[in-house]
Amino acid sequence: MRKANFEVPSEVISEFTGKMCELELENSITGLTEDDEIEIEVLYEKPESKQVDELEQHLEKLIEELEEEEEEEED
């Protein structure tokens, strides 16, 4: 069993967990970071590596969109 850890901003947790459920990955919430990001641990087997990569890319996209929204609000 392999393990991947994600730090998910609370603003995008519903989108992230929706994707995680869609990919049917075993997961658990393990805590909070100092920045109030939610720590999620995903357990997977080697054949599921592509799903984990897809989840990671999805999180990166969500974070980019969140940062863009924050920049627009500052302007």
Q: Which positions ≥6 away from 72 have C-beta within 8 Å? A: none
Q: Report pLDDT digits (tens) over 20-43.
A: 999 999 999 999 999 999 999 999
Domain locations in the chain? Answer: 2-74
Q: Report pLDDT digits (tens) over 42-67.
A: 999 999 999 999 999 999 999 999 99
∠ CA 31-58-14, rounded to 5°? 50
* Reported pTM: 0.91
pLDDT confidence tier of residue 70, bands split at 50, 70 and 90: confident
Q: Residue 58: what pLDDT? A: 98
| Residue of higher predicted confidence among 75 and 22 | 22
CATH architecture under which domain 2-74 falls: 2-Layer Sandwich (3.30)
Q: Which positions ≥6 away from 33 have C-beta within 8 Å? A: 7, 39
